Structure 1
Amino acid sequence: RVVLHLSKPFQELAEAFLVEKLLQRYCGLLPVPIYLNNNREVPVNDEPPPWRLDQSAISPIQLKKRSLEFAQGFENYFKPLCTIPVHPTEESEAKGLLWVQDTSTYGTSDNRNITVFVRNMFISSDVRELLPIWAGFVGGVIESDELTPTASREEVQKDDIYEKIQRQINEALIDGLAKIASEEINTWRSILKRHNEALLGAALCDNRLFKMVADDLKVPTSEGDLTVPAIKGRSQNKIYVSIGEEGDYEEVIFRALMTPVVSGIRYAALPFSQRYTELFGGLVVKLGTKSGNAVVFKREKISSEEQEKLQSLLAQPGQQVIPSRFQPSHLPMVLIPDRDYQLKKRIESEELDHRISTGVLSLARIYTKKIQGETAAYFYINLDSPLIQRLLVTEGEAQQQIANLLRSFTLMMGRHHDEELGTDLSEALATFSEAVLQLI
């Protein structure tokens, strides 16, 4: 017989409900009955784990209920949303239960937790590496007779058996999510709603998972969060992606057309869009790159005299005017930064020498060394715009006033101050006001 005496600050540890919860967690799989406070009628570990139940003798509804209750006993912070069984395979005899957590997650969330029992004995409640790295919203309990505890019995050895169980859990999770998607529509919608961003990244790790969620997950756009099929449907089978800040210059034309632009700097949005087009067709257009701009703005030929006039009236050093035609016609021009040029300037900045490792920075500079040109931004001029047509035929001071208005208006629509691009929002507002005053 062992008697423990607790000092006053720790007497709450002897509360019956707390001791019972701990016994249920740590001794829940022991074949020996554990009794508490002389209660000899019902042992605290009387309830077997779901995988030990005779499933032919229990209804699916009862099995689901008991699985959720079991999961709640091992989930520290969140309520389980649904459960997924782990069955033995030819490669591994491990068995257990996984669950999706009923909480909202982000791309960087990692709430993985796996409790491991070896030969009925509790070993650890944080063997999270058994779960795939993308499953930051999943918890579980695994029972195995083949895993080998470390000498301290606080962890398991990461040997061949460990890796087999990793693969087994990955397969069980993919198959389980697929089954939920096809058989439990409401639960599947809840999973998508709570873990949309995390699943964007997860889908890139497994093609089967990607195909499962491809049409249902939403990516952030200038028109709100939308599914990729919805984006393609509104953009003639294209996916326009901005790789600048949200609300940047290149979004102006698409805001006018009510065409969604994917925010490429948000977690997994760009690679998810690219993978979608690789598998299901379509075209990703990265705005602000030469190839992307060529898709959106078809260059038009004008006389050298008109080209020089537009360049002198509208552009500043480091900017280039390109005549084009695009919709809507009432949008006279659009300023598009050269994102490749911006990347090159940023990577070649001496400030990064102290913030990024030499090896990584060297690799990045090998790439940016291939980027040619010194143009920071392009003014795409809409030759179909009545304002541009009026500008080209006007002479003298009135012509310069119209040019000042157009340039200021374009800069204000971008809503940004950027010295590298030669854009100053405060100066644009002042110029706009002055030009209006002169006209009236």
Structure 2
Amino acid sequence: MTHPPAPAGGEAAQAFQVDLRGVVDLLARHLYSGPRVYVRELLQNAVDAVTARRAHEPDAPARVRFRGVDGGGLEVTDTGVGLTPDEARELLATVGRSSKRDLELGVGRAEFLGQFGIGLLSAFMVADRIELESRSAVHRDAPGVRWVGHADGTYDLTVLPRRDDDPVGSTVRLAPRQDMDHWLDPGTVAELAREFGALLPLDVAVEVPLGDEARAWRRVSEPELPWRAAYADDAARDHALARYCERTLGFTPLTHVDLEVPLVGLTGVAFVLPTAVPPGGGGTHRVHLKRMLLGERVAGLLPDWAFYVRCVVDADGLRPTASREQLYDDEALLVARDALAAQVRTWTLDTLRAGSALARELVRTHHLAIRSLALVDDEMLDLAAQVLPFETTDGTLTLAEVAQQGGTVVHTTSVEEYRRVAPVARAQGLLVVNAGYVYDADLLARLAGRRGWDVRPLRAADVAQVLDRVEPQRELELLDAVDAATSAVRDLDCEVVVRRFAPADLPAVLLQDRDDEHRRDVARAVEAADDLWGGVLAGLTAGSAPAPARRLVLNDTNPTVRRLLAGAARPEVFAAGLRSMYVTAVLLAGEPLRAQDAATMTAAMTVLLDAGLGPEGATGATGTVAHEEEER
């Protein structure tokens, strides 16, 4: 080994000494997800070796065999290119070093899955001893080589005598580490090999026991990609892909969408989930690179709105991260993501436009995903208005149906507001849309900016104007009572009006106007600000005196309200009754009680209880005072 010249006055530079056990621990804890990936790394080495051999021998066999050996070990054999003694020294003396063999074979690194040295090193996560025996398929006259590596960082390399009948390729034998022998069990190896190598274009098989010392080879790889295989007809293909989805993803899909991005060599299929998932409740996919499994939960393949599909894809032009379990976020991934999103979007639009049974099922199951896409896509926004269901005071309708009936789409922005106005609005024939659920308010706000759509939030005046006014004679009778009622709740920033509405058992409703509330907030800010800022803020609301933020609408068809407005009660009882109705209306509206509201309820209840029970200490003939008189 040649060292660089020593600096003046110093000693010669020295090579790093690496603790192999420390490196293996680093790989197991921080790079790889766990020991299970050793099967993937050995498979990658085998695939690369076969790829290199086929660059010279296109018809060379492509086989990988896993079999258990005595003592709980594992043997992996491939029909790949093999190694000469010189290549073994170059590759294995320093684990992780790249090889000149790629250039000698005329095969670029793009054709390979992994790096031989690192892949072999990963086996130390489950093995104390690794033995590699190999013979070159390119240099047939070269002798074979045996390399034996130990977990303490030492290795032995032996040149084997050349024999014409020896098969070319490589065999790796693993001796298990303590407490790691279960990872080398044939059943476990078969499951891992199937998981990582099911789509490899190689004949991958595992020898498994059948009982009574009988063994059999079980193939774990498929000769063709399921979505590229030939089928008798479309129905047979649909059935086969549905079964494949059940085996790999664990659900029976509503349908599937074919995917292809030639620029990055990607093909695959997107399976539409059969049940609804919450926004952000998914978004991971099963990704293969060069037909080797990269990961079952790979993120970043589709945008956030596409959470209603799960993809299985294979690609040649995407890069893995260092752990080879996620995709490297680069321009190639950006191109693939945009292309896949466009294909899923086009399928969704075409399906919804068709109006088929599948379209109705898609809307029923994944309306949240359609809403999510409509927030970022104008074409989907227009289509969503035609197909998405919304809760309204006239039943479940689309926005197009609402606009057709009323001309203007009037909506609430919260579920609580809708629940507050729905009984009255429904009884009076006012059509209101509940936009209090996720995405709905934002979707309607976007729709308001579209040409031809008249969309606005519900205002207090909308409800107030459809409530029946009382007869003129009755209105004159109630003038003093209404003034007294308004005075009773003026400190609560509320005014009182009287109307007639259904249902009759509802004594009062609370209406709020956001514009009035905003003006009152500005007025409060003007009062609290200094002269300069107060003048600026006052200019914003010039000419518009703020009205009370809340309006308590009393129902003149309700018997309790009519008795209260009759004026028979004492003034303090009248005020307490009004304030109690106000707090009840706040609670029915789903609004949180302010500290002032809670104090109002307590004070009102005290007055009403005193009026009904009598003042403290005077509870009547059956009360405490009468009982004490009897005792005396």
The equivalent residue for 2:256 is 83
Pairing 1:105–2:105 present: no
1:53 pairs with one of 216, 229, 238? 229
The equivalent residue for 1:71 is 245
The equivalent residue for 1:297 is 464
Count of matched residue positions in the alignment of Structure 1 and Structure 2: 409
The equivalent residue for 1:134 is 305
The equivalent residue for 1:27 is 197
Pairing 1:44–2:220 present: yes
The equivalent residue for 1:270 is 441
Q: What is the SS of the residue equivalent to 1:210? A: helix
Q: What is the SS of the residue equivalent to 2:333? A: helix
Change (3 A) 1:135 1:326: farther
Rounded to whole Å, the distance in 1 between the matches of 2:222 and 2:248 is 16
Cα offset for 1:332?
7.2
Per-residue CA deviation, residues 169-213 of structure 1 (Å, 9 max, x unaligned), is: 101111222344456834333333333334322321223333444
Change (3 A) 1:307 1:396: closer
Q: What is the SS of the residue equivalent to 1:168? A: helix
Q: Counterparts in 2 of 1:160-239, with a 5 A limit?
A: 160-181=331-352, 185-219=356-390, 227-229=398-400, 237-239=408-410
Rounded to whole Å, the distance in 1 between the matches of 2:610 and 2:421 is 26
Rounded to whole Å, the distance in 2 between the matches of 1:220 and 1:17 is 54
The equivalent residue for 1:336 is 511
Cα offset for 1:168?
0.7
Per-residue CA deviation, residues 334-371 of structure 1 (Å, 9 max, x unaligned), is: 322455749998xx9xxxxxxxxxxxxxxxxxx9x979
Rounded to whole Å, the distance in 1 between the matches of 2:447 and 2:386 is 9
Rounded to whole Å, the distance in 2 between the matches of 1:266 and 1:72 is 32
Rounded to whole Å, the distance in 1 between the matches of 2:290 and 2:416 is 54
Change (3 A) 1:47 1:374: farther
Question: Does the aligned pair in 1 maintain the 2:287–2:298 contact within 8 Å?
Answer: yes
Pairing 1:309–2:483 present: yes
Change (3 A) 1:184 1:2: farther
Rounded to whole Å, the distance in 1 between the matches of 2:579 and 2:423 is 14
Amino acid at match of 2:549: A
Rounded to whole Å, the distance in 1 between the matches of 2:431 and 2:358 is 29
Question: Does the aligned pair in 2 maintain the 1:252–1:413 contact within 8 Å?
Answer: no
Pairing 1:378–2:550 present: yes
Per-residue CA deviation, residues 18-42 of structure 1 (Å, 9 max, x unaligned), is: 6555434422332212122279987
Cα offset for 1:61?
0.8
Rounded to whole Å, the distance in 2 between the matches of 1:68 and 1:40 is 29
Cα offset for 1:159?
2.1
Change (3 A) 1:433 1:175: farther
The equivalent residue for 2:290 is 119
Rounded to whole Å, the distance in 2 between the matches of 1:381 and 1:261 is 19
Rounded to whole Å, the distance in 2 between the matches of 1:241 and 1:334 is 16
The equivalent residue for 1:321 is 495
Cα offset for 1:97?
1.0
Change (3 A) 1:389 1:124: closer
Structure 1: gaps (5+ residues): 349-366
Rounded to whole Å, the distance in 2 between the matches of 1:184 and 1:70 is 28
| TM-score, length-scaled by structure 1 | 0.70
Cα offset for 1:409?
4.1
Q: Which has the higher contact order (CA 8 A, sep 6+)?
A: 1
Say what the alpha-carbon RMSD is for the aligned residues. Answer: 4.9
Q: What is the SS of the residue equivalent to 2:491? A: coil
Question: % of aligned pairs identical?
Answer: 19
Q: Counterparts in 2 of 1:234-245, with a 5 A limit?
A: 237-243=408-414, 245=416
| TM-score, length-scaled by structure 2 | 0.52
Change (3 A) 1:278 1:12: farther
Rounded to whole Å, the distance in 1 between the matches of 2:174 and 2:431 is 66
Pairing 1:422–2:589 present: no
Cα offset for 1:132?
0.9
Change (3 A) 1:182 1:245: closer
